[in-house]
Amino acid sequence: MAKLILSIEGATLKEIPLTKGRTTIGRKPQNDIQIDNLAISGEHAVLALVGNDVFLEDMNSTNGTFVNGQQVKKHLLQNGDSIELGKYSLKYVSEAAQHAPGADFEKTMILRPGAMPHVSPTTTPAASASAHEATSAGMMAQTAARATAPTPAAATPLGVIQILSGGNAGKQLELVKTLTTLGKPGVQVAVIARRPHGYFITHVEGASFPVVNGQMIGTQAHQLNDHAIIELAGIKMEFFLKS
Amino acid sequence: MELNAVLEMVAQSDPGMVRSNNEDSVMASAACGLAVLADGMGGYNAGEVASGMATTLLGAELEKAFVARAPDARDASGKSWVHAALEAEIARANGAIYQAAQSQPQYAGMGTTLVACVFHDNKLTVAHIGDSRLYRLRGEVFEQITRDHSLLQEQIDSGMLTREQARHSQNRNLVTRAVGIDAEVLPEIHDYEVLPGDIYLLCSDGLNDMVEDDEIGMTLGMLSANLELCAEQLIQMANDNGGRDNVSVILVKVKGAYPAAQGWWRRLLAWFK
């Protein structure tokens, strides 16, 4: 299960597993996580479990609740987020981050009615505490890795096309996007794909195929090496990598 | 009017980079104007069984249904045949998968999502259950046509999550409806006008979970002249971004109009069929 690592000024104090549907944080003793410090309000913030997600909500505390330096009212926690209250910080470690790699990701599962409590947009203290029962029922018990936003191919050096002939000779085109099409639609078109391990040219349409370094490419994608010369729709161009 | 002169369809499915088997299933027939995509779920390889049953049964039964009666025929109460046939055949497929799940322990709890498209009379009727999607590119505008039956979508609809937060949610892939997990299932069915030049994309969440919508739309726009390459490119992008799930796509390009038989006596005949 997800957990928090409580520390003050860099020194770890303890690890707190998140077992309940709602975990309260505050100065008063009835809180699940009691932090006995005047900078912390009596009822400062609450962590609410919704399936595999954990929401952090500030309970109108005097000094506010911060995540990674930004003040928040309600925040969906990501693995590694640092929750700051006064001088204390709570580092959030998601359940998925604690599982060994190779666990089944992205598996579609059915959600049965009644398995999840209805959590209204404005969470009230009266909100159901049965989220814990629901999660432990195993209805959502998949170890989905955090689906990170797809990373653009930032690791590949940037490819550039320099037009060598025709009316646009001298012009340069930076291949920033995942796909760039070249040529004349309806006559001859090729696409250059930016992939993690390099740039690839593929024929899209037209009776004749692109020529790379003097050789006509087939139907399959062809990797472009630095300084490759491409001939397409009667125009010559050079592909090179910007260092 | 031969549908396959006007509709071009390409269907591809890939296990992705992580899974050892493929539990998605696809079926496309331009001649019948039919496209069906299913993403299976369940223990072991039961998902493969469920999705395969869905596409096989629906493909075969819908084809028969529309040979027997044109999709646009209406019954005495005015209900269109395409709607009636979709409801009936989805119910039948649901029953078959549910029975199989009940009778064999290794299939217990298996189910599948579903997107089924019927192209007829310059229209598209789409039935869907779950979080597999239908998108459309019309001119420069790329949009998602079906609304997911999923926890995340319900949270977005109720204001609990913004779209941005939903992208980081760990509750991905929790569907609220699926085929084969209950004795009865309720599909969502809608009709849309179709224009020549439209491009439709049916896909499993293995695509839209790995590739942003605007990248998908850009790919369709750039590679519409070569649908096979377009499908390969979409799958490649999903795999380059991690390929954490099976990924399947069906692309449909509408090259012209396809009106149903117009003559008054043909319409009369359709009535009496």
- Measured in angstroms, the CA of A38 and the nearest CA of chain B are apart by 32
CA-based nearest residue to B127, from B111, B114, B108:
B114
CA contacts within 13 A on the Cβ side of A167: 1
The CA–CA distances, whole Å, from A131 to A117, A136, B72, B83, B107 equal 6, 9, 47, 39, 28
Distance CA B40, CA B151 (A): 18
- DSSP per residue, A16-45: EE--SSEEEEESSTTSSEE---TTS-SS-E
Query: What phi, psi does A68 have (nearest 5°)?
Result: 50, 40
Task: Give the pairing of strands A22-26 and A33-34.
Answer: parallel
**Distance between first and last Cα of chain B:** 19
pLDDT (0 to 100) of residue A9? 86
Query: What phi, psi does A108 have (nearest 5°)?
Result: -70, 135
Query: Cα angle vertex B142, ends B140, B147, to 5°?
Result: 160
Residues of chain B above pLDDT 70, percent: 95
A147·B167 Cβ contact <8 A: yes
Average pLDDT, rounded, for chain B: 93
Beta carbons within 10 angstroms of residue A231's beta carbon = 17
pLDDT (0 to 100) of residue A94? 86
Distance CA B193, CA A105 (A): 37
The CA–CA distances, whole Å, from A58 to B40, B117, B166, B249, B258 equal 40, 46, 20, 43, 58
B244·A145 Cβ contact <8 A: yes
- Measured in angstroms, the CA of B131 and the nearest CA of chain A are apart by 9
Distance CA B171, CA B150 (A): 9
The CA–CA distances, whole Å, from A66 to A69, A121, B46, B227, B228 equal 6, 20, 45, 49, 49
Q: In what order do the strands lie in the sheet with A11-17?
A: A11-17, A3-8, A88-93, A82-85, A65-67, A70-72
pLDDT (0 to 100) of residue A239? 96
Q: Please give the average per-residue pLDDT across B75-102, as a whole number.
A: 94
Range among A4-13, A83-92, B76-85, B214-223 with highest mean pLDDT value: B214-223
- Is the per-residue pLDDT at A141 higher than 50? no
Distance CA B17, CA B25 (A): 17
Contacts of A1 (CB under 8 A, 6+ apart): A17, A18, A19, A95
Distance CA B196, CA B256 (A): 5
The interface predicted TM-score of the complex, written ipTM, equals 0.84
Distance CA A225, CA A221 (A): 13
pLDDT (0 to 100) of residue B134? 98
- Is the per-residue pLDDT at B61 higher than 50? yes
Q: Please give the average per-residue pLDDT across B148-168, as a whole number.
A: 89
Cα pseudo-dihedral A207, A212, A214, A220, rounded to 10: -60
The CA–CA distances, whole Å, from B39 to A66, A106, A164 equal 40, 12, 48
Work out the pLDDT band at A173, boundaries 50, 70, 90: very high
Question: A108 or B95, which is more confident?
Answer: B95
A106·B226 Cβ contact <8 A: no
pLDDT (0 to 100) of residue B264? 62
- The amino acid occupying position B248 is S
Chain A residues lying within 8 Å of B154, measured CB to CB: none
Chain B residues lying within 8 Å of A217, measured CB to CB: none
pLDDT (0 to 100) of residue B262? 60
Chain A residues lying within 8 Å of B131, measured CB to CB: 108
pLDDT (0 to 100) of residue B263? 57
pTM above 0.90, yes or no: no
pLDDT tens string B98-127: 999 999 999 999 999 999 999 999 999 999
pLDDT (0 to 100) of residue A52? 83
Which residues in chain B (152-211) have CB-CB distances under 8 A to chain A? 155, 158-161, 165, 167-176, 178, 181, 205-206, 209-211
Q: Tokens for B226?
A: 């070569």
**Quick check: helix, strand or coil at residue B219?**
helix
Helix (H) or strand (E) holding B233: helix B227-240
- Is the per-residue pLDDT at B252 higher than 90? yes
Question: A182 or A141, which is more confident?
Answer: A182
B151·A144 Cβ contact <8 A: no
Mutual angle of helices B213-223 and B227-240, in 10-degree steps: 150
pLDDT (0 to 100) of residue A144? 32
Q: Please give the average per-residue pLDDT across A24-40, as a whole number.
A: 92
- Is the per-residue pLDDT at B159 higher than 50? yes
- Is the per-residue pLDDT at A69 higher than 60? yes
Q: Please give the average per-residue pLDDT across B188-205, as a whole number.
A: 98
**Distance between first and last Cα of chain A:** 45
- Is the per-residue pLDDT at B65 higher than 90? yes
What residues form DSSP beta bridges with A53? A50
Question: A135 or A12, which is more confident?
Answer: A12
- Measured in angstroms, the CA of B94 and the nearest CA of chain A are apart by 15
Which residues in chain B (70-109) have CB-CB distances under 8 A to chain A? 109
Q: Exposure of A73 by Cβ count < 10 A (0-12 exposed, 13-18 middle, 19+ buried)?
A: exposed
**Quick check: helix, strand or coil at residue B270?**
helix
Distance CA B183, CA B175 (A): 17
Distance CA A35, CA B137 (A): 54
Q: Please give the average per-residue pLDDT across B156-182, as a whole number.
A: 88
pLDDT (0 to 100) of residue B160? 87
Q: Which residue of B154, B170, B203, B246 to mutate against A (max A Cβ within 10 Å)?
A: B170
Q: Which of B111, B206, B222 is closest, CB to CB, to A110? A: B111
- Measured in angstroms, the CA of A181 and the nearest CA of chain B are apart by 7
Q: Which of B41, B209, B237 is closest, CB to CB, to A109? A: B41
pLDDT (0 to 100) of residue A145? 32
CB burial of B126-137 (b: ≥16 within 10 Å; e: otherwise) equals bbbbbbbbbbbb
pLDDT tens string B10-48: 999 999 999 989 999 999 999 999 999 999 998 778 999
Q: Which of B173, B222, B241 is closest, CB to CB, to A181? A: B222
B215·A178 Cβ contact <8 A: yes
Work out the pLDDT band at B273, boundaries 50, 70, 90: low
